[in-house]
Structure 1
């Protein structure tokens, strides 16, 4: 049994990088057939966007902006080339955000993730993600069928009916949330039903803490995690190495400072930004609002694509201080005005009945003049008074957090 989906997973990283950026100009031209992308990139020559540095010069599109954009120019905000009728299925997610499903095989790029979790052609898979309006069920359904699996479109809930299906079809695989997998196993034990055919699982959509991982494994199921979104499908996935998540093929992933489009230093925590090379539905620098960090080197499983630590929290740390919103973008602006500073963290506390904010800033020099200059910039950018505390370089945590609301 082969360990990899295909040879693309183990190719030289430099070759993969060159191939991705050789394809990017054509994908960018295709994106610019959509009016919103055409406007955003009107001063850009796609032929020149052939490197990470060039890509980093393009504006970021934040997922948090999509509901308003879709409402202003339904259904896709002007970011999708082609009409709704040119797609196979049309979905909605909370926001609302509207997502089309391309008609080509494995449109959500999930077959690789299932393969890495041990699924193989001919397996029967119980898919418990919802098939109603949102794309989750179809993401995993289409991915499993692209791999050559038969799918039971169970959806969540109704465990009694699911037991009947499991005992009849004997699925070896499960896809769904880790929470529902536990519910299913617990309910089967309580009811004396046989679900022992399920030996492996690909889970997503909810936290999968170590304690739950160990419990699921002790009950005979090898479960692996996948990270994805309704917009992009499967972005990264666990492998048998169990060391981070491997980036999917045909994607360019950047990790940027929260509130910016600027890539962070290697290994630093930052916001995930994804460029998809699907010509039918390209995304150019879509900022997901999720935090992660890159892991060094290739995975021990032999896959050579970039690895990430997985989901590490939310990048949108906007909070309200004295009735005014303070955003990560504003903290990033302070850093740009004072390049001599390192990491920044705005800590918001409460003293009596008053909000207090203190900007903790890494600096090699702790002199009073610098502190006063940064304090003036803090007031100028946020329109609020606050304190500045200069701290030693590398003393703030590398966790991607730029605003910490510590009010009880």
Structure 2
């Protein structure tokens, strides 16, 4: 595909940095108007937050904190700048977490992702995301409507009826979870229906496995994916280049060491933090709980924003050892007490019916004193004894895991 949704997608690095130096201070200043961020960012001068380096020193906002504050101060925990009377809708996701829909044509910014998939004005979208409780259905619908596309609000389930409706309405594009389009197509095959109108698909909300990609390709369909959340909207999306996910122009993404706000080097797996830049109710350094990694260079499709690898697992790896919870932030605290070390992984196992812990740390140093010091730090921070093993730099897997529980 040779065209783009707008000129933002092909900006130079300098143009994007210049825009960020204006957008980021404005987002922080607006966030501070909300009661929650007024407290959380009370000592931050927004005019100085002009780039990623400065942003990296601000506190992280976690979903657990959002759930707690929403329970204490319903309905939205004080994170909303927009008064309740001016919101379009409020949704509820598991947690529970309540999400507000601001007014406007495409509040979750999905038009960009759908355009990259190939959706164009006038094409009918068969939308299989739910329209009740969670915002997924409205997220994709608002993006399609912003592109000038009609939408069939199919929702999930009732697969035979889905196939019959698609055969009658002749939609060009499917939106839904990665595997459900396959179920609709197979139902159509079994019923002898013509579903050849489907030429493209946009999937999210589940694992898009290679076998599924092959299935759709064999049927002549272009099916691309995106990554987003109910709290943040679109975070990143795939283009026909199919080389990673391109970060949306309305957000800023950081990859940090799980349990911390500390950025990791390019290519290293870590937790995804997102700052929304154009939202009426901004979130600043919001921890998604997902793992990913930054890919080097721009996409071959011509879009120039940062690329990420896609979903690589969950960052919340807390586990209970001998009755006490051990968390990634505790492992990070051990590393901060010993500067100059590389990646670390706490491996939890079992021997003779008793929990065991071994902290594996990358370092070129081979020093018994370092082992002893690390073991003391581990015990002091977690209140649990554990073994320490020094590993060569690069020896640990680059998968974002900080705690690995091998107890099954």
Give TM-score scaled by structure 1 length: 0.98
Instruction: Report the number of matched residues.
Output: 408
Q: Give how far 1:88 is off.
A: 1.1
Give the Cα–Cα distance (whole angstroms) in 2 for the partners of residues 374 and 50 of structure 1. Answer: 37
1:96 is matched with which residue? 96
Q: Give how far 1:2 is off.
A: 5.0
1:370 is matched with which residue? 370
SS of the equivalent of 2:273 reads: strand
Give the Cα–Cα distance (whole angstroms) in 2 for the partners of residues 281 and 181 of structure 1. Answer: 34
Superposition map of 1:308-387 within 5 A: 308-387=308-387
* Alignment pair present for 1:185 and 2:185: yes
Are 1:237 and 1:245, in contact at CA under 8 Å, matched by a contact in 2?
Answer: yes
Give the Cα–Cα distance (whole angstroms) in 2 for the partners of residues 10 and 278 of structure 1. Answer: 18
Superposition map of 1:8-407 within 5 A: 8-407=8-407
SS of the equivalent of 1:399 reads: coil
Give the Cα–Cα distance (whole angstroms) in 1 for the partners of residues 164 and 211 of structure 2. Answer: 29
Are 1:347 and 1:403, in contact at CA under 8 Å, matched by a contact in 2?
Answer: yes
User: Which shows bigger deviation, 211-220 or 307-316?
Assistant: 211-220
Q: Give how far 1:396 is off.
A: 1.0
Are 1:178 and 1:208, in contact at CA under 8 Å, matched by a contact in 2?
Answer: yes
Give the Cα–Cα distance (whole angstroms) in 1 for the partners of residues 122 and 315 of structure 2. Answer: 40
Are 1:84 and 1:90, in contact at CA under 8 Å, matched by a contact in 2?
Answer: no
Are 2:24 and 2:51, in contact at CA under 8 Å, matched by a contact in 1?
Answer: no
Give the Cα–Cα distance (whole angstroms) in 1 for the partners of residues 163 and 357 of structure 2. Answer: 54
Are 2:362 and 2:390, in contact at CA under 8 Å, matched by a contact in 1?
Answer: yes
Are 2:32 and 2:41, in contact at CA under 8 Å, matched by a contact in 1?
Answer: yes
Are 1:31 and 1:279, in contact at CA under 8 Å, matched by a contact in 2?
Answer: no
Unaligned ranges ≥5, structure 2: none
SS of the equivalent of 2:285 reads: strand
Unaligned ranges ≥5, structure 1: none
Give the Cα–Cα distance (whole angstroms) in 1 for the partners of residues 52 and 158 of structure 2. Answer: 48
Deviation per CA, 1:196-232, whole angstroms, max 9, x where unpaired?
1111000000111101110122123210010000011
Give the Cα–Cα distance (whole angstroms) in 1 for the partners of residues 314 and 2 of structure 2. Answer: 37
Deviation per CA, 1:123-142, whole angstroms, max 9, x where unpaired?
00100000011100000000
User: Which shows bigger deviation, 44-53 or 290-299?
Assistant: 44-53
Are 2:256 and 2:262, in contact at CA under 8 Å, matched by a contact in 1?
Answer: yes
CA distance 1:39–1:187, change in 2 (3 Å): same
SS of the equivalent of 2:115 reads: helix
Give the Cα–Cα distance (whole angstroms) in 1 for the partners of residues 140 and 298 of structure 2. Answer: 26
Are 1:127 and 1:154, in contact at CA under 8 Å, matched by a contact in 2?
Answer: yes
Deviation per CA, 1:226-257, whole angstroms, max 9, x where unpaired?
00000111110110111000001121111100
Give the Cα–Cα distance (whole angstroms) in 2 for the partners of residues 324 and 370 of structure 1. Answer: 25
Deviation per CA, 1:139-162, whole angstroms, max 9, x where unpaired?
000001101111000001112332
User: Which shows bigger deviation, 67-76 or 160-169?
Assistant: 160-169
Structure 1 ranges of 4+ moved more than 3 A: none
Give the Cα–Cα distance (whole angstroms) in 2 for the partners of residues 171 and 181 of structure 1. Answer: 12
SS of the equivalent of 2:68 reads: helix
Give the Cα–Cα distance (whole angstroms) in 1 for the partners of residues 191 and 220 of structure 2. Answer: 18
Give the Cα–Cα distance (whole angstroms) in 1 for the partners of residues 279 and 396 of structure 2. Answer: 41
Give the Cα–Cα distance (whole angstroms) in 2 for the partners of residues 276 and 146 of structure 1. Answer: 19
Q: Give how far 1:69 is off.
A: 1.8
